[in-house]
Amino acid sequence: MRVLVTGGSGRLGRSVVSVLSARGHQVTSVDTAPADLPEGVDTVTADLLDPAALEEAFTRARPEAVVHLAGIAVPFARPDVETLQVNTGLAWAVLSAAVAHGAHAAVAASSPTVYGYNTPSWTPRYLPLDEEHPVAPWHAYGLSKTIIEDTVRALARTARTCVLSCVRPGYVVAPEEWEGAPTQLGHTMAERLADPALAATSLFNYVDARDAAELFALVVENPDKVRGGQVFNAMAPDPLATGPVDALLPQHHPATAAAAAALADGRAVFSSQAAHDALGWNPTRTWREQLRVPTGGSAAPSGGHRD
């Protein structure tokens, strides 16, 4: 299948391009930044906010599927208005081009920040957080992702042959970051695990970039198994914490105390069960096997809590 990936040079995009390529797809990566991508991948350097460049990229790639990852990927990385304009403008431009150019599937990267945690009063209705839980974004990045999810639903209302959907990856860990390279917020994974205050800001979620990439591949390979406008959480099955998350979570987010009791069996704060049920997605890379640095924490056996 011909697949166009936007943001293919990025932390997540490099794994998405590699996984799609390894699964036999003909991949075109479009990004403003260059990258060393696998042999056979067509690499286009272009700003997708430029309508002519976008049209040229789609005409060249003739995509049967589109994976849209390009954007400002970290909250507060850029001024708020820029984050909103770039992320929402890119999503509309890329996804509507996917429909117009006859793609059968288009999936956009959203984010768990749509749930709106990290305010003092944030109170989940229940835990773990699944895709049915209401969203309540409060910063420009989270709002931009909420608008992207709405954009997908809006386009899905009239798209006849293209199945549009969203994936919400957890804190993405690129392969080299397990080895000690700095993560998106500047600290290493070992530091993030050692200091619960760091991982608490994402409610202890994470996902290996290769596992997340497999879900993006499954979504575009199986449009018949995806509802138009559907959203999938994409997190590792366990929390990024050496201690019990039902106790840790209320220490950092006091209003979660009542709901956190449901996590006493060690499950993650987020549920990715929908991706497992619809597409058989089974993320296998957990910090317990991937992190090469001694953490001092208990290395309990890994395992999903899917049933």
Ligand X SMILES: NC(=O)c1ccc[n+]([C@@H]2O[C@H](COP(=O)([O-])OP(=O)(O)OC[C@H]3O[C@@H](n4cnc5c(N)ncnc54)[C@H](O)[C@@H]3O)[C@@H](O)[C@H]2O)c1
Q: How many residues bind ligand X (CB under 6 A)?
A: 24
Of 70, 219, 220, 235, the residue at the interface with ligand X (CB under 6 A) is: 70
3-class state of residue 254 by DSSP: helix
Q: Is 57 in the site for ligand X (CB under 6 A)?
A: no
- Give dist(CA 170, CA 210) in Å, integer: 12
Q: Is 248 in the site for ligand X (CB under 6 A)?
A: no
- Residue least distant from ligand X (Cβ): 10
Please count the CA atoms within 13 angstroms of the CA of 20 that sit on its side-chain side.
Answer: 34
Residues 144-173 that bind ligand X (CB under 6 A): 169, 171-172
Instruction: Write the interaction track for ligand X spanning residues 100-139; mark x where CB under 6 A is met and - where it is not.
Output: ---------x-x----------------------------
Among 4, 5, 7, 67, binds ligand X (CB under 6 A): 7
Q: Quick one: 71 or 229, whose CB is closer to ligand X?
A: 71
* β-bridge mates for residue 105, sequence order: 65, 163
- Contact, 178 vs 290, CB < 8 A? yes
Residue written as token pair 């930044």: 33
What is the distance between the alpha carbons of residues 191 and 120, in angstroms, rounded to a whole number?
24
Q: What is the rounded CA–CA span in Å between residue 200 and residue 54?
A: 38
Exactly one of 37, 48, 65, 152 binds ligand X (CB under 6 A); which one? 48
Q: Is 64 one of the binding residues for ligand X (CB under 6 A)? A: no
Q: Going by DSSP bridges, is the β-strand pair 207-208/105-109 parallel, antiparallel, or unpaired? A: unpaired
Using CB under 6 A as the criterion, which residues of the chain lie in contact with ligand X when the complex forms? Answer: 6-7, 9-13, 31-33, 47-49, 69-71, 73, 90, 109, 111, 169, 171-172, 184
